[in-house]
Chains A and B, each alone.
Chain A
Amino acid sequence: MLLGTNVDNYDVKPQDTEPESIGLQATLTIKVVDKNGNVKSKFTVKSHSPTYNFIALLEYIVGKTVTITAIDGTQINTHGLYQFFVCSVAIAVGSGTSSSPFNQTNLVATIPNGNGAGQLVYGSTNVSNSITGSGNALSFEIYNVFTNASNTTVSVSELGLIVNVQFVLNDTYEPYNVLVWYDTIPTINLAPGDALTVTYTFTINP
């Protein structure tokens, strides 16, 4: 690019230093144990995507008007809404897949919480007590355990982070569940008695 000229007409070449930071890194660690506690598989993959709702919440925090879509399809336009809060976070699992994770507003095929066929028993959400790491690399974790208490195999191929957001509408708190992070993973088949531990790790400056 030539200086003192029209920006649109010239290729832009880097003048400054090479990139140093990848930004925010999210990874997924998947661990499956059988009913006796033996590890059947464990692997870590990159997590792929925040959803548009995540970006919208980052903007709404400073008062921007955005539209957030809850998992039930309800669209919440934040114009005039001056208060909200986030009440909980949960990892959800499903058996579908999506090729456009950023635009997802719910899992494609959520696996219900329960001990029947095609269901998994959802454990409680756990999080790191604090930021961990050393140097410039810092991280925290969110994890949960899902147990197949049924007599049939259950397949998991998608994951998501869902936050419960409450908006103040006419002095009334209106709760909505909102998908803020979504991933597809290689299909995992959970035999009866198997337990799946899903750990999201968010890191800066890895």
Chain B
Amino acid sequence: MLIGETKGYDSDVLSLAKSSSLHNGLKSYYIVLVKDKDGRILDYRDGGLRSLTGYFLWLVANIFDLYDYGFYYPGINPLFYCGCNYTVTNGSYSIVLGSGSQTFSPNINKLAAPIPGASINPSITYNITSSGIPQIIFYGEYANNSSSPITVSEFGLQLTTKYCSSNITLSPLLTYDTLSQPVNVPVGGSISVAIVINLTG
């Protein structure tokens, strides 16, 4: 990418995710990249994901259909229930951005201070590291088209879906992280985030 080029941000953060020095470790990690309106890099962060929430495990349990064997996860319904009429088109993943912080717990289910409208509809890809570790990567960009800068200090991966094809919305937070120092996204600038989850540590 050339200086000032105005496209390719998503692939940048994905490339960084795959080339990070954290890539061949045993850890899950994130990449945060902030650019100005001309595409110049203003800030870059990477680090280990503090934690997956219990809802990530809940999601895996759904894929394995554990609920038909008497499994129960407190506080949230299974995806496949009510005669299994799960309508897949109701769902989405999003990387949500916030300006607060809170102590992590596995039951955390929302950001401390979500920034209204600051949400990324991520692309999803997978990767196998040279160490043979399979990873799933959620990545994308949020452009600050508002009239004022935003400060991002927390982010998470959120699943939004319907329960039993009904009007009951489930929106569990699958990961939650805070930055050691907030990043500022100027007007017209952008923030790209990649969340890299090792699927077998």
Contact = CB atoms under 8 A, between A and B. Distances in A.
B51 interface: yes
A1 to B, nearest CB: 6
Contacts of B3: 5-6
A57 B27 CA distance: 23
A164 B65 CA distance: 9
Interface stretch (A12-20, A106-114, A150-158, A190-198): A12-20
Given A21-B48, A87-B68, A130-B73, A136 B41 contact: no
A31 B87 CA distance: 40
Interface in A68-117: 78, 81-89, 102
Contacts of A23: 27-28, 49, 52, 197-199, 201
A89 B21 CA distance: 37
Interface in A22-46: 22-26, 46
Interface in B41-59: 41-54, 56-59
A10 to B, nearest CB: 9
- Report, as a range, how many residues of chain B touch the other chain: 35 or more
Contacts of B68: 87-88
A63 B89 contact: yes
B57 A204 contact: yes
Contacts of B198: 22-24
A20 B89 contact: no
A62 B93 contact: yes
B21 A86 contact: no
A193 B120 CA distance: 56
B117 interface: no
A4 B27 CA distance: 28
B84 A166 contact: yes
A131 B200 contact: no
8 contacts: A3-B42, A5-B40, A61-B159, A62-B91, A63-B92, A82-B88, A89-B65, A131-B73
Interface of B: 1-3, 12, 15-16, 19-22, 25-29, 33, 40-54, 56-66, 68-74, 79-80, 84-93, 104-106, 124, 126, 128, 132, 134, 136, 159, 161, 179-180, 197-201
